[in-house]
Chains A and B, each alone.
Chain A
Amino acid sequence: MKTDIQKINGKIIATLVGELDTAAASQVEKELQPLFEAKGENIVIECEGLEYISSSGLRILLGILKNAIANGDSVVMSHVNDDIKNVFRLTGFINLFKFED
């Protein structure tokens, strides 16, 4: 599981690649710490390389979203594949996040 964070044009773009399972979750949560601290910057989470996500991964995303909403910022999920989108659908997360392709 790899993560990457870049700031472009006032946006924070976080790229997730690999399988975000329970074992990887705590490491990923640490690496994405800047997203929890972001303020005044909209967040884009690039998921083109994301192959798998478990509920612990969803919890991280929910934490990021709650922080962004509290600051009036937005979180956009980008290039989420259908299988993972189905997980978002089953959990109702599909209504919480914005998606773009």
Chain B
Amino acid sequence: MSVNNFNRKASGVYVVIVSVLLLELISAVQFYYTRSLLEDELEKRVETELTMKAIVVNSMLRNAQGILNDHLNDIKRNIAEPDSMFRVVRSIVEANRNLNGGWVAFAPDFYPQKGRLFEPYAMRKGDNITVVQIASDNHDYSTNPIFHETAAAHKFVWSKPYLDKDGTRNMITTCNLPFYDSRDSLQGITGVDFSLSWLGDTLNSRHIYPSSFMMLLTEDGEVISSPSDTIRKYKDTKIVADLINDSTQLRTLSRSGRSEIIEFNSAVNGDNAYIFFANVRGDPHWIMAVVCYDNEVYRKLYYMGLNIAVLNLLALAVMIFLILRFVRNARRLSEARLAQEHVRSELSVAHNIQSAMIPQALPSMDSAEVAGLITPAKQVGGDLYDFFVRNEKLFFCIGDVSGKGIPSALIMAVTKSLFRLAAERENNAAHIMTDLNKMACSNNATNMFVTLFIGVLDLPTGHLRYCNAGHDLPLLCRPDGTVTPLNADANLPIGVFENTEYSLQKQLVDPGTLIFLYTDGLTEAMNEQHAQFGLHRVERILADSASLAVQELPGRMSNAVHNFVGEAEQSDDLTMLAIRYRGNGSESALFTDSITLANDVAQVPQLSQFVARVSERVGCDKATSMQVKLSVEEAVVNCMNYAYPAGQTGTICINARFYSKNLLFIITDNGVAFDPTEKSPADTSLSATDRPIGGLGILLVSQLMDSVNYERIQGKNVLTLKKIITKPTSE
């Protein structure tokens, strides 16, 4: 059991562990697959974004350059007229709303009439454009390094971004284009101011993830444009700028034209973040960077992972619950089954014990036949009967313990044992009943009671003495088929009141009469229509069974009940006991002899001669002869001494009868009622000093004879001694 239980438990644990591992494996595979999908998606999205935005930026830059190129011819055509340059710079700024300013700065002393420096400058302020000559001693563009750089470049030169000091305090960059005369001498530089903050807003007009943003940097890592809408982004833009600024490798990589990725920790919450960056193709070599946050990129994954984890946990919990319940149910079932089997086997043992307690039939007996049957409703029952023969008397009883099942069975066993004990020495049925009642009352904690009928049938004479304690009346079935209940007082069942007095009743039973005893389980057996078997059916079957062997009667009655009951469940124990009294009438004595003596011990020699004569006729051996002689002498002397009061003369009649094997001596006197068999015999274990004088005679009689039977019949004491002659000497 413990091993099975362990295995079952262990297999449950294995199932749980394997399930957990499988679920986790599936989740992990799902997680990483999904993660790589998301990564691919991210890269594609970023790549697209970078390409798109690079095109935007590039086109803006090319647009600015295009405007300058377009106006260069205008400048060259009108180079002779300095004042026309005011119109030209206005036209430049008007060409594109994103241009904050436009100018033409001429080489020093180019127009002598305009002084050393001349720089017409158009400036956008809101919707208005104002044009001024901006050069002065304080604003000497010829000293600006970018002027010389541009002058030497012979091509567009983009300045580094800077904060516009005068106007909108925006981040701006300038695009400068030098122009020369036919001798390749510098005539001047035209240029535009390009608003970069505007560019930043344009770049960040759309986000691939809610918090992601885009930055534009110079190849030195200087921030050209960045979103400025949140502190968070501001903090992280610094980090991105520093990272790009610090890493020459990154700058080199960025030139390859492909986007690259680096990771960094967000300054805001320490989240993992990614920088995707790529070169904006062309001049200037700007770098475009997209910053994405891990938690957003993989948020779906996390949600999905969380969902899967929760689902897994739920599934696992359900599975563990089911397995545990299965294991528990299986264990309970097996325990219950074991317990049930245990109880069943014990009940079966109890049933066998109880069956063994009940005698089935008497061994061969000429004067009476007995047969009984108990069919318990459950495996053990509360019904009992018993019978045995002692001193030519058939002691029998039938009883019904209140209730059913094991408690009743215990009481039944006790009651039956007590009956044997009480009837061992006592011939009076009422005395036996009184003893039983006292014993039953003395320890009756459960308040159970027993209806009981006790009968003592004197086999030589057919005298039935009985006592009833609330039991169903036995039925007498005569040879002619008439059935009548035995007239018996009701009396209280035993176990109710300790002081109940039980009455002894008598009835002479004719040879051939059947005494039928039963419990109410017989008459109250119910069929499916709730009709009872009833006394009348019992009586009819008995009347029909007058010639039936007693041994077959219980079976016949039982079959009748089962046929009547049909499929209905047996509700009560079914018990019956049948006794047919045959008497001695069936066999005539081989010889009889008798002698009548006075109540004087001096007559003993005549008795001895009589017994010797009988023994000789029967053919007893010497030892048996002496035993018979001794027994008869003791019994007769007992009568002589006790039957009549001292001094009163009386007679004692000794009648000897010999049947085929039984030698009977029937000793009759007219004296006072005296039952020698009720006297307790001498205690043979005492020492000589303690040994009383009396009691030896009846002890010898009871030990030497096969039975000693006392009856008080019609005012006479009748004592019958029986000796079974086993080895007759005469052939």
Contacts and interface: CB of A to CB of B under 8 A. Distances in A.
Interface of A: 19, 21-23, 25, 52, 54-56, 58-59, 62-63, 65-66, 69-70, 82-83, 86-87, 90-92, 96
B605 A91 contact: no
A14 to B, nearest CB: 17
Interface stretch (B127-135, B456-464, B623-631): B623-631
Contacts of B686: 92
B630 A87 contact: yes
A68 B601 CA distance: 28
Interface size class of B (residues with CB under 8 A): 20 to 34
Contact of A23 (B601, B623, B634): B601
B608 to A, nearest CB: 6
Nearest to A82: B623
Contacts of B634: 54-55
Contacts of B601: 22-23, 25
Interface stretch (B90-98, B416-424, B690-698, B718-726): B690-698
Contacts of B637: 22, 54, 56
Interface of B: 601-605, 608, 622-623, 626, 629-630, 633-634, 637, 682-689, 691, 693, 696-697, 699-700, 703-704
A65 B688 contact: yes
B602 A96 contact: no
A82 B608 CA distance: 20
A52 B697 CA distance: 14
Nearest to B693: A59
23 contacts: A21-B633, A22-B601, A22-B637, A54-B634, A54-B637, A55-B696, A59-B693, A59-B696, A62-B691, A62-B693, A63-B693, A65-B688, A66-B689, A69-B688, A69-B689, A82-B623, A86-B623, A90-B699, A90-B700, A90-B703, A91-B682, A91-B684, A96-B687
Among A54, A63, A70: residue with most chain B CB under 10 A: A54
A92 B690 CA distance: 13
A26 B700 CA distance: 20
Contacts of B623: 82-83, 86
Contact of B603 (A23, A25, A59, A63): A23
B687 A58 contact: no
Contacts of A90: 684, 699-700, 703-704
Contacts of B604: 21-23
A86 B626 CA distance: 11
A96 to B, nearest CB: 4
Report, nearest first, the 4 A-B pairs whose CB atoms are least far apart: A92-B684, A23-B604, A55-B696, A55-B697
A82 B622 CA distance: 11
A46 B697 CA distance: 24
A56 B637 CA distance: 10
Nearest to B637: A22
B439 to A, nearest CB: 30
Given A54-B637, A91-B700, A92-B683, 4 more contacts: A23-B604, A54-B630, A54-B633, A87-B630
Nearest to A58: B696
Contacts of A91: 682, 684, 696, 699-700
A86 to B, nearest CB: 8
B626 A52 contact: yes
A16 to B, nearest CB: 16
Contact of B688 (A25, A54, A66): A66
A62 B682 CA distance: 14
A52 B630 contact: yes
A96 B699 contact: no
Contacts of B688: 62, 65-66, 69, 96
B692 to A, nearest CB: 9
A87 B700 contact: yes
A56 B602 CA distance: 13
A63 B602 CA distance: 22
A68 B634 CA distance: 27
Q: Which of A21, A52, A54, A55 has the most CB of B within 10 A?
A: A55
Nearest to B697: A55
Contacts of B691: 62, 96
A25 B346 CA distance: 63
Contacts of B693: 59, 62-63
Nearest to B699: A91
Contacts of B685: 92
A19 B626 CA distance: 11
Nearest to B703: A90
A78 B197 CA distance: 154
A83 B622 contact: yes
Contacts of B608: 19, 21
B626 A83 contact: yes
Contacts of B687: 96
A34 to B, nearest CB: 20
Contact of B602 (A23, A52, A59, A65): A23
A29 B304 CA distance: 124
Contacts of A86: 623
A69 B685 CA distance: 17
A25 B697 CA distance: 14
A87 B604 CA distance: 19
B522 to A, nearest CB: 46
A46 B686 CA distance: 25
B703 to A, nearest CB: 5
A71 B693 CA distance: 20
Counting chain A CB atoms within 10 Å of each CB, the highest count among B604, B622, B696, B703 belongs to B696
A25 B51 CA distance: 152
Contacts of A87: 630, 700
A69 B623 CA distance: 32
A43 B697 CA distance: 26
Contacts of B633: 21-22, 54
Contacts of A83: 622-623, 626
A23 B622 CA distance: 21
Contacts of B626: 52, 83
Nearest to B634: A55
A91 B704 CA distance: 11
A19 B634 CA distance: 14
Contacts of B704: 90
A56 B633 CA distance: 10
A58 B692 CA distance: 12
A55 B696 CA distance: 6
B247 to A, nearest CB: 127
Nearest to B622: A83
A82 B623 CA distance: 9
B688 to A, nearest CB: 4
A21 B626 CA distance: 12
